[in-house]
Amino acid sequence: MAAVGRSAVLTQKAAYEANKLQKRLRRLVGQAIADYDMIRAGDRVMVCLSGGKDSYGLLDILMRLREHAPLDFEIVAVNLDQRQPGFPEHVLPDYLRSLGIPFHIEVQDTYSIVKRVIPEGKTMCSLCSRLRRGVLYRVAGELGATKIALGHHRDDILETFFLNLFFGGKLKAMPPKLVSDDGRHVVIRPLAYVRERDLQAYAAVRGFPIIPCNLCGSQENLQRTQVKMMLREWEKRFPGRVETIFRSLADVRPSHLLDRKLFDFAAVAATGVAWAEGDRAFDQDEFPPPVAIPLIERDSS
């Protein structure tokens, strides 16, 4: 009987944690949508569904938000079947039918193109992404979608920032909202505030039928993978560092960088009037000291 009681307590605790996680995700997605004016009344939102945890989570959360949102908008799920060998064609249609949501499966053999063009061992993501983007833009136009929703989360945004910083020589990340490169669509990322680990937990709770990507998922030496490992290591040794970096992306001071296109340095002159962004050239930096977790403690945990 004691074992039964413990089991019931554990079940209740799991249900409580799952409900708390769902509420947190809905709050974060709702906040991102509001902060960046992503969705308006009457919008037809095309949710790009890959079969991975992120896009499943995006669709699920948007559907739940729509039930309580003060504005009315449509959702249509779209999957691009790239004709990868062994791709289970029935999984997504069966799942989407069970939800009773409008959907469209677009079949384009981009897999063969990528495999033919990219030499063995080279990064496939760039070409694959360009091909997918072109197809999805076309489909969005055909479906009358006013917004294209992608499943990129907070970790994706941070990783992209460091990839551009380390390898591209530019300060650039993934914006929560942008105009597509063909100028015809508005692309949104409602998961911009959501951590990847929360999406992993949510996928387990909801039991999404995950479909692995066999095209690029095995490329473990990608630069993005290395950046992901770096951020994970930072978060272990310096808890809160990654959160601080993410907040900094929304608090940019062009006058304290070096981009002459963003700030008119030639016009800088002493006016005798105090300026909030003025440089305190001789002051010490006022940053809280980092608290590192020794590697030996981390490894033994």
Summarize pLDDT for 7-53 with one digit per residue, the tens.
665 688 888 899 999 999 999 999 999 999 999 999 999 999 989 99
The range of the structural domain enclosing residue 33 comes to 2-218
Quick check: is 278 in a domain? Answer: no
Query: In the predicted model, is pLDDT for residue 124 greater than 70?
Result: no
What span, in angstroms and rounded, lies between the C-alpha atoms of 180 and 134? 10
| pLDDT value for 235 | 93
Domain count along the chain:
1
Contact 124, 84 (CB under 8 A): no
Contact 53, 203 (CB under 8 A): yes
Quick check: is 59 in a domain? Answer: yes
| pLDDT confidence tier of residue 297, bands split at 50, 70 and 90 | very low
What span, in angstroms and rounded, lies between the C-alpha atoms of 146 and 144? 6
Query: In the predicted model, is pLDDT for residue 265 greater than 80?
Result: yes
Contact 35, 29 (CB under 8 A): no
| pLDDT value for 87 | 80
What span, in angstroms and rounded, lies between the C-alpha atoms of 134 and 82? 13
The type of residue at 238 is F
Quick check: is 48 in a domain? Answer: yes
Summarize pLDDT for 47-97 with one digit per residue, the tens.
999 899 999 999 999 999 999 888 899 999 999 887 777 788 899 999 999
Whichever domain contains 100, its CATH number is: 3.40.50.620
On the 0-12 / 13-18 / 19+ scale of CB atoms within 10 A, 9 is exposed
Quick check: is 188 in a domain? Answer: yes
Query: Does this model's pTM top 0.95?
Result: no
The DSSP bridge pattern shows strands 177-179 and 186-188 to be: antiparallel
Quick check: is 191 in a domain? Answer: yes
Quick check: is 84 in a domain? Answer: yes
Taking alpha carbons only, the member of 186, 174, 192 closest to residue 44 is 186
Quick check: is 298 in a domain? Answer: no
Taking alpha carbons only, the member of 163, 91, 258, 88 closest to residue 77 is 91
User: Residue for token digits 């993501």?
Assistant: 125
User: Residue for token digits 């597509």?
Assistant: 180
110 DSSP assignment: H
284 DSSP assignment: P
Quick check: is 51 in a domain? Answer: yes
